[in-house]
């Protein structure tokens, strides 16, 4: 169960990789409730990558910790924000054709209008992505983010 008001919804997740399936379902259900069917697949994939990165790189090293996913529906964008206790910034990795992982931030960059992160003192960071909404066949935001994370608020 998540916290939700019109156009904003949030859900806590654990350090267990099994928490990804409930997060995907939560994202899909939330977007369906908002009537944002055109961006369900892209947003769910972006959220999956953001949460997987938090679980793998931030939460797995700290027993009993959890993260938060926040989704906000604006006029042209779904804002996806994942908070975790790590202060380490997200950095895209160089990968080869033979690598089986390490492409999460590249996927986020490709599917989002923009993405970045904000540090919160000693309490961690929020990594965010802006997924464009398609209205009547027209994408409201340009894809292909900047390729480098921005350190700023959203």
CB 55 within 8 A of CB 104: no
Residue 129 resides in a domain: yes
Provide the 8-state DSSP code for 99. Answer: -
Q: What is the sign, positive or negative, of the torsion defined by CA atoms of 11, 120, 39, 50?
A: negative
Phi, then psi, of 38 in degrees rounded to 5? -70, -20
Residue 97 resides in a domain: no
Residue 94 resides in a domain: no
pLDDT tens digits along 17-49: 899 999 999 999 999 999 999 999 999 999 999
Task: Residue 13: give the domain boundaries.
Answer: 9-87+103-151
Say which residues have a Cβ less than 8 Å from residue 151's Cβ, sequence separation at least 6: 89, 116, 117, 118, 119
Residue 93 resides in a domain: no
Residue 78 resides in a domain: yes
Question: What is residue 80's predicted lDDT score, i.e. its pLDDT?
Answer: 98
CB atoms within 10 A of CB 137: 6
pLDDT tens digits along 68-102: 999 999 989 999 999 999 888 887 766 666 655 66
pLDDT band at 148 (very low <50, low <70, confident <90, very high): very low
Residue 3 resides in a domain: no
In the chain, how many domains are there?
1
Residue 105 CA to residue 108 CA, distance in Å, equals 5
Provide the 8-state DSSP code for 75. Answer: S
Residue 96 resides in a domain: no
Residue 1 resides in a domain: no
State the average pLDDT for the chain. Answer: 83
Output the CA–CA distances (angstroms, integers) from residue 147 to 47, 82, 100, 104, in the order listed. Answer: 17, 18, 20, 12
Residue 105's nearest CA partner among 62, 48, 67, 59 is 48
pLDDT band at 9 (very low <50, low <70, confident <90, very high): very high
């Amino acid at each position: 169960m998540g916290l939700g008001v019109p156009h904003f919804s949030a859900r806590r997740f654990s350090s267990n990789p099994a928490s990804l399936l409930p997060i995907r379902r939560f994202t899909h259900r939330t977007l369906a409730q908002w009537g944002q069917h055109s961006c369900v697949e892209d947003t769910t994939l972006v959220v999956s990558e953001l949460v997987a990165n938090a679980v793998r790189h931030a939460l797995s090293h700290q027993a009993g910790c959890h993260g938060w996913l926040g989704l906000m529906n604006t006029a042209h964008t779904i804002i996806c924000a994942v908070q975790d206790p790590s202060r380490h910034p997200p950095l895209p990795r160089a990968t080869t054709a033979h690598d089986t992982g390490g492409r999460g931030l590249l996927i986020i960059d490709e599917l989002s209008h923009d993405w970045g992160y904000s540090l919160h003192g000693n309490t961690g960071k929020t990594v965010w992505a802006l997924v464009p909404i398609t209205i009547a066949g027209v994408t409201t935001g340009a894809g292909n983010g900047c390729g480098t994370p921005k350190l700023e608020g959203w």
